[in-house]
Amino acid sequence: MTPTEIAAYIGAAAWLPQIGTWIYRSVVSPVITIVLERTAEVGFTSLGPIFNVRMAFSSDRKDAIIDGFELVLRHENGDERNFRWSGITETFSEIRDNAGNRQVVSRDQTPIALKIGTESLVEKFVRFQEPKYHDTVRPSMLDLIAHVNFLKRSGDPEYVEKLLVSKECFNAIEMSQKSFWWQAGTYAIFLNLSSPKKF
């Protein structure tokens, strides 16, 4: 074996760790762990039924990207409701002055995707809403708003009284009341994540 061949083998062997890393990254999928705070905010607002909870995310083996987050609430009587993430708030820091006043530096964002790294724990306040509410109630609310605008432009001084007895107002109130489904009892929570890559 000549010195040139030995040098060629050593040079080729130098690529083995890099090739091994490429193979490892392509074969291994991340394992995502989610820890929920012990208490959550549940309620009914102008946005419909809501479920808000603080969560901590971590990923083992490899970074992960989450592009969808759904939550299923199942009541003890079997009734199931689906929620989709609608907002994320991340707190960066908290500042206190000598008087004890507190200021929080945070960022609120509409969720598109969430990157979870292997280096640190990601803590977020995640807000969930029920898409079914928006699909059923929003059309009646848009009709009500259009009717309000029509009555205002007509110049009638009694447009508020006419609005309150209108079909549009009745439909909007009825749809909103039908959408309140919270009931006493125990709920089980199931989390569904989606990602462009296997996890």
List, for residues 32-61, the tens digit of each pLDDT value.
888 889 999 999 888 889 999 999 988 888
Cα torsion through 126, 132, 135, 141, rounded to 10: -80
Cα torsion through 54, 102, 45, 128, rounded to 10: -20
Can you give the pTM of this predicted structure? 0.72
Phi/psi at 172 (5° precision): -65, -45
Cα torsion through 123, 115, 105, 130, rounded to 10: -70
Residue 187 DSSP SS3: strand
Q: Which residue has the tokens 């901590």?
A: 56
Give me the mean pLDDT over the 146-156 stretch: 84
pLDDT category, 169, cuts 50, 70, 90? confident
- Asked if residue 82 has pLDDT above 90, the reply is yes
Q: Where are the domains of the chain?
A: 31-129+185-194, 135-178
